[in-house]
């Protein structure tokens, strides 16, 4: 008899663990400081925890509506009206169990077998496997350091008659960069010219440190009816384990995407949805989270620069990237991350682990900065000491 494990789908049998799970596992095992996977060590704001406790005591614990609590769909639409000038009806919002489920539901509903989907490298690691699972073909276009800008000619060259969609992550994880207004206008023109659906992972929209409000690709001319905008309460409030996200698109499209969501997770815990709705409605709460992360970001960036590490420019997300060669480190990124977690006691993410399609930069690693000041100072000291001994 064959081993039942050998009879499982080869898609998953031969798939490695995500780099985030791998590095967090090593950090736990080794007791290292975890600046790899992105999550804050501090709890979400007390007002959000109060809202959760009240919802848990007072509200139903049974299945909420498949598309999400009406109160949260309304609160999401209001939040984007206030913060980004979007005019959305609650019908355009589908609540999901985290942004990754929103990405999955969207890809399953958008991509038919044989369709091609344009992605950009580096990319969040869930996109391409989900496109393949839907029977689609991911086609990668490389972004180049240090600015990771979008190259129209390269995008046009990747588009064929079979291209159905483009996946844009703005602000971009892992680089922490933001698409320029020119990039957004160009991406919109390309989508309209080639009749593409834009799947926009905008989970970092509220985590910006350059003083600008996020501008969604959805706002560009011709994009309202062809964009799926994806957001995350986990990122807005620093509550990644809550797994409350949403997708937003024209109501007729949202109804179809909801059909995919109904057979993935169906619903999301109602007490979390109530609390997020209250959090989004609370003036200044989302901004207070970003203001706190601006403080800790400053500690990591200043500390690294003081120790002679060369940072790539960034303006958003919980991450900053280090150029290893320019920091005097003659290691490739994967070797750096594996050795640093063992030898320096600091976990990081190698950028090439988030790259497909050839030509990966192999000298850049990502560090997460939404950690207590003492943790960050300790991590900088460990990395500098270890580098000096290499």
Q: Which is nearer to ligand GLN, 20 or 150 (CB)?
A: 20
Least Cβ distance, residue 38 to ligand GLN (angstroms): 3
Least Cβ distance, residue 328 to ligand GLN (angstroms): 26
Q: Does 220 bind ligand GLN (CB under 6 A)?
A: no
Cα separation, 330 vs 314, in Å, equals 23
Cα separation, 359 vs 301, in Å, equals 28
Q: Which is nearer to ligand GLN, 37 or 84 (CB)?
A: 37
Q: Does 173 bind ligand GLN (CB under 6 A)?
A: yes
Q: Which is nearer to ligand GLN, 38 or 270 (CB)?
A: 38
Name residues contacting ligand GLN, limited to 266-325 (CB under 6 A).
none
Q: Which is nearer to ligand GLN, 38 or 68 (CB)?
A: 38
Q: Specify burial of residue 382 (Cβ count, 10 A radius: 0-12, 13-18, 19+).
A: middle
Least Cβ distance, residue 113 to ligand GLN (angstroms): 26
Q: Does 37 bind ligand GLN (CB under 6 A)?
A: yes
Least Cβ distance, residue 18 to ligand GLN (angstroms): 6
Q: Specify burial of residue 29 (Cβ count, 10 A radius: 0-12, 13-18, 19+).
A: exposed
Q: 386: which residues sit within 8 A by CB, 6+ positions away?
A: 340, 343, 344, 346
Least Cβ distance, residue 197 to ligand GLN (angstroms): 23
Least Cβ distance, residue 174 to ligand GLN (angstroms): 7
User: Is the CB of residue 13 less than 8 Å from the CB of residue 5?
Assistant: yes
How many residues bind to ligand GLN according to rule CB under 6 A?
A: 5
Q: Which is nearer to ligand GLN, 67 or 341 (CB)?
A: 341
Site pattern 319..358 for ligand GLN (x: CB under 6 A): ----------------------------------------
Q: Which is nearer to ligand GLN, 39 or 274 (CB)?
A: 39
Name residues contacting ligand GLN, limited to 77-136 (CB under 6 A).
none
Q: Does 20 bind ligand GLN (CB under 6 A)?
A: yes
Q: Which is nearer to ligand GLN, 96 or 173 (CB)?
A: 173
Q: Which is nearer to ligand GLN, 20 or 148 (CB)?
A: 20
Q: Which residues, in sequence order, are bridge partners of residue 168?
A: 200
Least Cβ distance, residue 24 to ligand GLN (angstroms): 7
Given 23, 33, 38, 223, the residue binding ligand GLN (CB under 6 A): 38
Q: Does 232 bind ligand GLN (CB under 6 A)?
A: no
Cis bond leading into 174, ω under 30°?
Answer: yes
In this structure, what are the phi and psi dihedrals at residue 251, rounded to the nearest 5 degrees?
-50, -40
Contacting residues toward ligand GLN, per CB under 6 A:
18, 20, 37-38, 173
């Amino acid at each position: 008899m064959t081993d039942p494990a050998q009879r499982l789908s080869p898609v998953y049998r031969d798939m490695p663990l995500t780099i985030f799970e791998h590095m967090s596992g090593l950090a736990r095992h080794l007791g290292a400081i975890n600046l790899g996977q992105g999550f804050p060590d501090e709890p979400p704001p007390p007002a959000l925890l109060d809202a959760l406790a009240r919802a848990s005591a007072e509200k139903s614990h049974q299945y909420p509506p498949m598309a999400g609590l009406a109160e949260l769909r309304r609160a999401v639409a209001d939040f984007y009206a206030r913060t980004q000038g979007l005019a959305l009806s609650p019908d355009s919002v589908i609540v999901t169990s985290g942004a990754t489920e929103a990405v999955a539901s969207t890809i399953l509903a958008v991509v038919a077998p044989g369709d091609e989907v344009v992605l950009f490298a580096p990319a969040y690691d869930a996109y391409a496997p989900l496109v393949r699972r839907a029977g689609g073909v991911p086609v990668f276009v490389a972004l180049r350091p240090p600015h990771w800008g979008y190259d129209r000619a390269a995008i046009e060259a990747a588009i064929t008659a079979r291209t159905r969609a483009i996946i844009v992550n703005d602000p971009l994880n892992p680089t922490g960069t933001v698409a320029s207004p020119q990039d957004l206008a160009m991406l919109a023109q390309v989508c309209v010219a080639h009749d593409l659906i834009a799947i926009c992972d905008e989970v970092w929209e509220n985590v910006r440190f350059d003083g600008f409000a996020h501008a969604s690709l959805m706002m560009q001319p011709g994009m309202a009816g062809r964009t799926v905008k994806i957001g995350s309460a986990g990122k807005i409030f620093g509550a990644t384990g809550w797994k409350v996200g949403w997708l937003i698109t024209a109501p007729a499209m949202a109804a179809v995407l909801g059909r995919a969501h109904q057979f993935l997770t169906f619903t999301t815990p109602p007490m979390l949805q109530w609390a997020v709705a209250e959090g989004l409605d609370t003036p200044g709460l989302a901004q207070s989270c970003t203001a706190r992360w601006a403080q800790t970001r400053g500690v990591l960036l200043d500390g690294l620069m003081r120790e002679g590490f060369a940072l790539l420019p960034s303006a958003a997300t919980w991450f900053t990237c280090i150029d290893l060669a320019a920091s005097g480190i003659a290691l490739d990124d994967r070797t750096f991350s594996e050795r640093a977690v063992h030898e320096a006691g600091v976990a990081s993410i190698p950028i090439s682990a988030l790259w497909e399609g050839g030509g990966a930069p192999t000298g850049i690693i990502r560090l997460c900065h939404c950690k207590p000041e003492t943790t960050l100072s300790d991590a900088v000291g460990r990395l500098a000491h270890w580098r000096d001994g290499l």
